[in-house]
Amino acid sequence: MPDWGKEIRALLEGLRLDPTREGEIVEELSQHLNDRYEELLAAGTSAGQAHRSVMEELNSGRLTAELQPLLHPAPQPIVLGQDERANPLAGLWRDLRYGARLLRLNPGFALVAILSLALGIGANAAIFQLLDAVRLRTLPVRDPQELANIPVVYHPNGRTGSFSSPNPQLTNALWERLRDQQQGFSSIGAWSAQKLNLSQGGEARYANALWVSGSFFATLGTHPILGRLISPADDQPGCGSSEAVISDSFWQREFGGGASVLGQKVTLEGHPFEIIGVTPAGFFGVEVGRNFDVALPVCAEPTVMGERESALRNPQGWWLAAIGRLKPGWTVERASAQLAAISPGIFEATLPAEYDPTDRKNYLQFKLGALPAASGISELRKEYENPLWLLMGISGLVLLIACANLANLMVARATARQREMAVRLALGASRGRLVRQLLAESLLLAVVGALCGVGLAQALSRLLVSFLSTQNTHLFIDLTPDWRVLVFTAGLAILTCLLFGLTPAIQAAGTAPGEAMKATGRATTAGRERFAVRRGLVVSQVALSLVLLVGALLFVRTLRNLVTLDAGFQRDHILINDVDLSPLRIPVANRVAYKQELLARTRAIPGVISAATARVVPVSGNGWNDNISIPGTTVQRKIADFNRVSPGYFRTVGTPLLAGRDFDDRDTAASPQVAIVTEKFVKKFLAGSNPIGRTFGVVQQGGKPDRIYQIVGLVRDTKYNDLREEFMPIVFVAEAQDDSPDLEAQFMIRSDAPLTDLIPAVKRTIAEVNPAMVLNFSVFDTMIREGLLRERLMATLSGFFGFLAAILAMIGLYGVISYMVARRRNEIGIRMALGADRSSIVALIMQEAGTLLGIGLTIGTVLALIAGSTASALLFGLRPSDPWTLTMAALSLAAVAAAASFLPARRAATLDPMQALREE
């Protein structure tokens, strides 16, 4: 019988039919031809003739042409491994869809993967967003790259005078000369930030005020959304309390955003200012991290400060900062050169008359210079830029650990899918094609993880900002994500995808199809090389986690050291009441007595244990220092910190009096000037000898003779500026002997009663004397804690990241050890059958875990020592290589690791050897 099927198939070939349909047609037509052939034979035709006739019939008609429109060709089959060279991205969508299906089938894996990526990427993006906002973003003004800041860039021995405002770069005299003589800037403006009281008597309510020169807004190119801005015409010497411009947020908050705000008054420190305009939303001045409420012309400063010392009139008052817009064609360098050239003339002309010869010589060496200011000026940046970069590094490590964990999971999955890969390879897929397929799956995870991460970052960065804001300083940071944040996150997603996807992909593509197909289920999961990769990943995880744990412990201990540090005073149960007496216009001669009267009344409040006044509250950020000389010694013009306190101060703050006496009623304006000094003072200036009865002089400005003090008491060392500093020599002088008392009194009140309950009583007491006084309360302990924000931030975040890293590493270790137990089931079964007891099996597994841990910890210790040096500036009271910290971190990691590997070890030990062997 001829093979009709072959002939028919040859005819149908061009139609490219679906194989099933083609088979049916071939079968049906063959039968037909067969029947016809037999019929012809039966009729007596020869076989050869019959065959010819049948073939003629088959070829006579137009079978293919007739069938063509009837039968659809089969869809193009998916040939795995077919490289679509014309378009390398072709089929990517298919890969992604396939990946998505696989993830849907395995929701547990997908959830863990996406969650860990979202956390890792989210933390990185959040910190980057903050860095972007405080460091990288340019000011929201016209052509910010043309702006430059103009400070005194050269001052080899520091500057002398009184410093106010967050950026005390220039005095008013310097600013005026600079404005008139500079050539590099088409426009130049000055500003200074200060808190001014909005309320009239009673408890103070502060507005963030900005003193601005007439050209400030024009220099920045800012236009009002309502009314007009301050212009040079508004900033004329002696302008008094005149016009004010308010910010959009203040307008909304205080005036409900109504247009009728123009012409209304805003009262600052008791002086009414007429509102002439509103700045646009988003404009915050030039200082990143600080918004302003009210902008006032610089010329109004003396009026507002009233009887208090005006910075504008003080030739030594450093309080302004300048910003200029470069002329076309001028660079920062060229402008700097011009500023350097005019500096000698400017400093000569502005030399404060009261400076002594040393200060004069120093002052005349100063040089002005220009610094790029496209991204503004920020104290916040100085304080937080390094910690943020460090946190970024830490969160980067966490992401790396998360990637290692994922890579581990993916390798395990790839191992389980080895047969699938083998089948694909056998069907003709290229290895590159397999890598792409697996990378597409990783990419899918990375993209979903990154999207969740971006959402998380928004919440996290806002949380961080609220963490850094305190009651007194509200951080103003624009956190809307810009292109940098988006590019950063997208980059992270791609990087992580490559990090955790590439190794397993390359491994899977390296599958030997023949062996994988032949092998049994158990054998396909073996492979020494593959397991080595997983162990390597765990070792790196352990090492990185140790680095993070060490970091976390260092920062936590730094914070602890600062919190528990013996500062020489007791921080709790002290309320500070800062009273502004200026509305009362008390004559100088009566001021001391008035303050003493207020103190006596405060002491009489029920619940008050003791109270005292202090010019400088310790570690508040305020300070006062002077040069001292001790007659007949080498101690000449040595700097010492000063404070002016009332009797009872040491009892109130809990600083022990070691010798001599406290100030008392004997010390009056008429009696000899007395002082109490600290141990450090004695050690440094008196060579440790008994200080009581000794005298020293305080250098006076303007060529006046030194003022002589007699030491009557010795107290323990206390911190002055900062908890982190070494103890400094401090001189306490008596409030009662103040010959130029100001109109401010700071009361420190110790009480056993809850301090919030004490405030109303203090308010009432002060108001009974005179309700016009303005009060500002703060709690000493809270103030100190807020001063430790940076340390708290580092401790909290690095602690959290360290914890996260340890957990991730332990999950990785658990996975690898579990896998190893599964892989060695038979071996363990044989060992047990040959008489190994359970404890030796546990020991076997734990030994494996111990090896990984040991290698990881060793590498981690080296890394931690290297990484620690970058953090040393942020530590307090311990070195980065602190052995106790290293040991604690290693021990705690080892303990968790032991727990993580004990579970699989116990599972191995409770294995039924018979069952394990039967499975072989």
Partner 1 sequence: MTYMAPKVFDRELKKGSAELLILSLLEHRPRHGYEISKLIEARSEGVLRFNVASFYPLLYRLEQRGFIEGRWVEKAGQRRRRYYRLTPQGRKMLKEQRSIWRDFVNAMNQITGAEHA
Q: What is the DSSP letter of 308?
A: S
Nearer to partner 1, 24 or 597 (CB): 24
Size of the site for partner 1 (CB under 8 A): 21
Q: Which of 20, 44, 62, 105 binds partner 1 (CB under 8 A)?
A: 62
Nearer to partner 1, 4 or 476 (CB): 4
How big is the chain, counted in residues? 920
Q: Which of 57, 84, 333, 837 binds partner 1 (CB under 8 A)?
A: 57
Distance CA 463, CA 710 (A): 53
Q: Is 565 exposed, middle or buried (0-12, 13-18, 19+ CB in 10 A)?
A: middle
Asked whether 398 and 805 are in contact (CB, 8 A), the reply is yes
Structure tokens at 608: 């008050």
Pairing of strands 226-227, 271-278: antiparallel
Distance CA 347, CA 368 (A): 9
Nearest Cα residue to 836 out of 844, 825, 846, 847: 844
Q: Which of 19, 47, 49, 59 binds partner 1 (CB under 8 A)?
A: 59
Q: What is the residue type of 192?
A: S
H helix or E strand, kind and range, residue 47: helix 47-60
Nearest Cα residue to 404 out of 810, 108, 797: 810
Contact between 752 and partner 1 by CB under 8 A: the answer reads: no
Contact between 58 and partner 1 by CB under 8 A: the answer reads: yes
Q: Which of 41, 63, 110, 807 binds partner 1 (CB under 8 A)?
A: 63
Residues 67 to 96 in contact with partner 1, rule: CB under 8 A: 67, 70-71
Nearer to partner 1, 25 or 421 (CB): 25
Phi, psi of 566 (to 5 degrees): -85, 100
Nearer to partner 1, 14 or 491 (CB): 14
Q: What is the residue type of 222?
A: T
Smallest separation (angstroms) from partner 1 to the CB of 424 = 34
Q: What is the residue type of 404?
A: A
Phi, psi of 387 (to 5 degrees): -55, -35
Smallest separation (angstroms) from partner 1 to the CB of 77 = 23
Structure tokens at 400: 């790396």
Q: Which of 31, 331, 472, 851 binds partner 1 (CB under 8 A)?
A: 31
Asked whether 4 and 51 are in contact (CB, 8 A), the reply is no
Smallest separation (angstroms) from partner 1 to the CB of 436 = 40
Distance CA 354, CA 177 (A): 19
Q: With H, G, I as helix, E, B as strand and everything else as coil, classify residue 544.
A: helix
Nearer to partner 1, 40 or 745 (CB): 40
Nearer to partner 1, 69 or 587 (CB): 69
Q: Which of 12, 17, 25, 435 binds partner 1 (CB under 8 A)?
A: 25
Range in contact with partner 1 (rule: CB under 8 A) among 24-32, 388-396, 586-594, 851-859: 24-32
Range in contact with partner 1 (rule: CB under 8 A) among 25-33, 142-150, 217-225, 460-468: 25-33
Q: What is the residue type of 553?
A: L
Q: Is 6 exposed, middle or buried (0-12, 13-18, 19+ CB in 10 A)?
A: exposed
Q: E-strand spans in 583-725?
A: 608-613, 625-629, 638-645, 657-660, 674-678, 695-698, 707-715
Q: Read out DSSP for 182-244?
A: --SEEEEEEEEEEEEE-SSSEE--EEEEEEE-TTHHHHHT---SEE----GGG--TT--S-EE
H helix or E strand, kind and range, residue 732: strand 730-734
Smallest separation (angstroms) from partner 1 to the CB of 19 = 16
Contact between 49 and partner 1 by CB under 8 A: the answer reads: no
Measured over the CA atoms of residue 140, residue 141, residue 146 and residue 152, the dihedral's sign is negative
Q: Which of 2, 18, 32, 888 binds partner 1 (CB under 8 A)?
A: 32
Nearer to partner 1, 27 or 180 (CB): 27
Smallest separation (angstroms) from partner 1 to the CB of 9 = 14
Residues 426 to 455 in contact with partner 1, rule: CB under 8 A: none
Nearer to partner 1, 23 or 656 (CB): 23
Range in contact with partner 1 (rule: CB under 8 A) among 59-67, 76-84, 143-151, 794-802: 59-67
Structure tokens at 84: 């679509």
Distance CA 70, CA 15 (A): 10
Nearer to partner 1, 61 or 158 (CB): 61
Nearer to partner 1, 25 or 239 (CB): 25
Smallest separation (angstroms) from partner 1 to the CB of 15 = 12
Nearer to partner 1, 64 or 106 (CB): 64
Contact between 35 and partner 1 by CB under 8 A: the answer reads: yes
Contact between 42 and partner 1 by CB under 8 A: the answer reads: no
Strand partners of residue 209: 194, 294
Distance CA 731, CA 707 (A): 13
Q: Read out DSSP for 840-893?
A: HHHHHHHHHHHHHHHHHHHHHHHHHHHHHHHHGGG--SS-TT-HHHHHHHHHHH
Q: Which of 1, 14, 16, 24 binds partner 1 (CB under 8 A)?
A: 24
- Contacts of residue 459, Cβ cutoff 8 Å, sequence gap at least 6: none
Range in contact with partner 1 (rule: CB under 8 A) among 22-30, 248-256, 452-460, 906-914: 22-30
Smallest separation (angstroms) from partner 1 to the CB of 42 = 13
Contact between 36 and partner 1 by CB under 8 A: the answer reads: yes
Range in contact with partner 1 (rule: CB under 8 A) among 57-65, 201-209, 403-411, 491-499: 57-65
Smallest separation (angstroms) from partner 1 to the CB of 20 = 12
Range in contact with partner 1 (rule: CB under 8 A) among 51-59, 401-409, 536-544, 832-840: 51-59
Nearer to partner 1, 56 or 529 (CB): 56
Range in contact with partner 1 (rule: CB under 8 A) among 63-71, 100-108, 286-294, 324-332: 63-71
Nearer to partner 1, 34 or 458 (CB): 34
Q: With H, G, I as helix, E, B as strand and everything else as coil, classify residue 27.
A: helix
Contact between 28 and partner 1 by CB under 8 A: the answer reads: yes
Distance CA 678, CA 658 (A): 9
Q: Which of 15, 33, 743, 905 binds partner 1 (CB under 8 A)?
A: 33
Nearer to partner 1, 59 or 200 (CB): 59
Q: With H, G, I as helix, E, B as strand and everything else as coil, classify residue 277.
A: strand
Q: Which of 20, 60, 87, 689 binds partner 1 (CB under 8 A)?
A: 60
Asked whether 690 and 658 are in contact (CB, 8 A), the reply is no
Phi, psi of 786 (to 5 degrees): -65, -25
Smallest separation (angstroms) from partner 1 to the CB of 76 = 22
Q: Is 151 exposed, middle or buried (0-12, 13-18, 19+ CB in 10 A)?
A: middle
Smallest separation (angstroms) from partner 1 to the CB of 522 = 44
Smallest separation (angstroms) from partner 1 to the CB of 3 = 15
Smallest separation (angstroms) from partner 1 to the CB of 10 = 13
Nearer to partner 1, 58 or 490 (CB): 58
Interface ranges with partner 1 (CB under 8 A) = 24-25, 27-29, 31-33, 35-36, 57-63, 66-67, 70-71
